[in-house]
Amino acid sequence: MRVKLLSVFLVICIIAILLVVTIVTKNDGSDTFAFETPQTNLPKGLKSRIGKGVILDVAYHPDGRQFAVASPTGIWFYDANTYEVKALIATDQPAVKMMAFSSDGEKLATIGENKAIKIWDMESLNHKMTFVYDSSPYLDLYFDFIMFIKDEHTLVSHIPGSTHLWDVTTGTHQFKHSIYKIFEGVFGSDGRIAVTCRDTVVYVWDVVENNLLKEIKIHSPVYFFQKKDIALSSNGTTLAYGTDENIIELWDIETGKHKITLKGHKEGVACIAFSPDGKTLASGNKDHTITLWDVAKGKRKKTLKKHTNVVLKVVFSPDGQTLLSYDRLGDLKLWEVGTGKLIYSLRDHINVATSISLSPDGLTLVSGGLNGYIHLWDVATGKHKKTFKGHKKTVKGYINSVTSVSYSPDGLTIASASSDKAIHLWDAATGKRKNSITKPSGNMRKLLFSPVDQLLVVAAEKSIHVWEVDPLQLLYAPIVHESLYYYEGLSLSADGKSIASTGKSQNIKIWNVAKGNLMKTIKLKDTWRLTKDIALSPDGKIIANMSPLNNTLGLWNVETGDHKHSLKDIHNLKRFGIYLNCVFSPDGNYLLAGSSHATLTLWDAASGKLVKSLKGFSHAIEEIVFSQDGKTLLTSGDGTVLVWDFATLINGSDQ
């Protein structure tokens, strides 16, 4: 009997230890758990999704049992007790910028970059209706605002210059207030009272009745940019806002009198929020800390210090016992308000794809992260395989992101460059660092392995360096170049013999890789200057460049320097999108360009004719990578990577 009891006890202990190890490991985010992305709700043609996307907004469900995280891939719902993913609403582009639950928790409202408001049913997670303001361009100077009024059937929304009321039962627009002074502001928890400010005057409005209730003269200007450093108490009686003097001012809305000044911040206030009972104020700071204040006494209660970057938002749970916060690196944390204890760190939404490169066999993706880490992923499944750590994460509070990664042609080595001004060479199989390069001075913008030799081409701020990898040595003196600091104008020919680059003058220069001598200069007209990106065709006969001045791509004959075609996508121009990158398909038949407004445009490379404009992407397309066989296309942006079947993507219906 004793033996049986002992056996049972040992089994229970082992299980308990395994559970603890699993929880601690996941909480630490040091292995693959923090990076796994459920492969659900994938659009047609999408093979896998890598990364959940950066955090754009967070919100607690009214029942307090779950919270929502808006990202470019959609809205992720997490269990507030286990922190596991419960569901995903895979929203279409453009990305959600803000969201709000109805007080009964049955509806969720979201607003995107195009100012379209969508209402979602929380029981089925299905889309119910869409409200659209107008067709005027979206300007991201101020955040739009949405909130349900307490009757749960009325939604109030605000964009610079106007406030709207919508009936979410009938799907109708009730009315619009075009009030000059409601240009930027914040709403109370009932959605009815709006507080706005111009210079040193605060205005209090009843938006339902369209009445100005009062004007309050304050002693310092209030700026409502992005509405993160201003808040109203839950009963709408106290206004709090941060200032450039590192203090928080509290005003009584009912009497118009100044209540108290909260002092003690070492740096600027980035965001603030009242607890549901109005007794506690939380402020996120640019010094990476969070302060909890006693509102009545005006005294600091606790300082929370686990964030490693600027805190962008703080949100109290409905019962006021838990505080949720996230920072610029995408690290989301939950705190126990009473003790200030860190409960959990959720690292699902860290930007893991500032740069990407594909292994020669097309099976593995390497991505550089915002936090200085390098990650390996299984392309087919989207599963996280390995993390390389070696670049400095931060220096004096600044993020050292990985600016460029590249696979060697034999697939054995990975090169990475970071804003810490170092290049590391890694063993692709083990993740061990093989060597480092620190000689290129200034910021290194881009690095590429030669497709045929063990040569690494590095674009530094004012020079181009070509290194032999084994043994590691500079092949010849750096190519002195005009400033490449603001542009990533670097491309290699498929045969590995030529480098194309652009600089401050924006003329395209062709260099000999083996010797470093200038072979040709393609002089661009004024309208083609300020090139953002360039791409050489696989046969090396055509070069494409992008001009942000006229949002047009140009095709040029490399041999003669003659201009061949001007490529435009009128749909993208109407959407005020800006092209971010361009690439030729491996067979040379297509030229692709990705834009800031989640549009992928394809042209026939020979004729210059527009083939298709694809708009179903969930993020700005910052980088495009093909597999060598041309069957798989990878697009990255906003911290995520989407893996597409190229044939399905181009043969699907026009969007």
Domain containing 71 — which CATH number?
Answer: 2.130.10.10
Residue ending a domain, among 319, 334, 349, is 349
Whether residue 101 has pLDDT greater than 70:
yes
Chain segment 256-266, per-residue pLDDT in tens: 888 999 987 77
Q: What's the confidence (pLDDT) of residue 23?
A: 38
Chain segment 147-177, per-residue pLDDT in tens: 888 778 888 887 766 778 889 988 888 877 7
Chain segment 543-596, per-residue pLDDT in tens: 998 876 667 888 999 989 888 888 877 655 445 567 788 999 999 999 999 887
Q: Is residue 530 part of a domain?
A: no
Whether residue 653 has pLDDT greater than 50:
no
pTM, 2 dp? 0.83
Q: Is residue 443 part of a domain?
A: no
3-state DSSP assignment of residue 11: helix
> Whole domain around residue 272: which residue ranges?
192-349
Cis peptide bond upstream of 360, omega within 30? no
Buried b (16+ CB within 10 A) or exposed e, 172-197: eeeeebebeebbbbbbbbbbbbbbbb
Whether residue 15 has pLDDT greater than 50:
no
Q: What's the confidence (pLDDT) of residue 27?
A: 41
Q: Is residue 463 part of a domain?
A: no
338 and 357 inside one domain: no
Please return the burial class of 553, using the count of CB atoms within 10 Å of its CB with bins 0-12, 13-18 and 19+.
buried
Mean of pLDDT values over 13-31: 39
Whether residue 441 has pLDDT greater than 80:
no
Chain segment 379-413, per-residue pLDDT in tens: 999 999 998 887 776 655 566 788 899 999 999 99
208 and 164 inside one domain: no
Q: Is residue 501 part of a domain?
A: no
238 and 334 inside one domain: yes
Whether residue 198 has pLDDT greater than 60:
yes
3-state DSSP assignment of residue 261: strand
Q: What region does 153 belong to: left with phi over 0, alpha with psi -120 to 50, or beta? A: alpha
Least confident of 71-85, 98-112, 239-253: 239-253
Residue ending a domain, among 152, 178, 204, is 178
CATH code assigned at 412 = 2.40.10.480
Q: Is residue 650 part of a domain?
A: no
130 and 251 inside one domain: no
Residue ending a domain, among 349, 365, 399, is 349
Q: What's the confidence (pLDDT) of residue 567?
A: 85
Q: How many CB atoms lie within 10 A of CB 160?
A: 13
207 and 355 inside one domain: no
3-state DSSP assignment of residue 533: coil
247 and 363 inside one domain: no
Per-residue pLDDT band for 19 (boundaries 50, 70, 90) equals very low
Task: Say if CB 214 and CB 204 are below 8 A apart.
Answer: yes
Q: Which of 103-117, 216-230, 485-499 has the highest mean pLDDT?
A: 103-117
Chain segment 601-611, per-residue pLDDT in tens: 999 999 999 99
Select the more confidently predicted residue: 529 or 392: 392
Q: Is residue 526 part of a domain?
A: no
Q: What is the mean pLDDT of the chain?
A: 82
87 and 139 inside one domain: yes
Number of compact structural domains in the chain: 3
136 and 217 inside one domain: no
Q: Is residue 589 part of a domain?
A: no
Q: What's the confidence (pLDDT) of residue 11?
A: 44
366 and 341 inside one domain: no
What residues have CB less than 8 Å from 152, skipping those under 6 apart?
102, 103, 104, 106, 107
Mean of pLDDT values over 625-635: 93
200 and 291 inside one domain: yes
288 and 324 inside one domain: yes
158 and 224 inside one domain: no
Q: Is residue 174 part of a domain?
A: yes
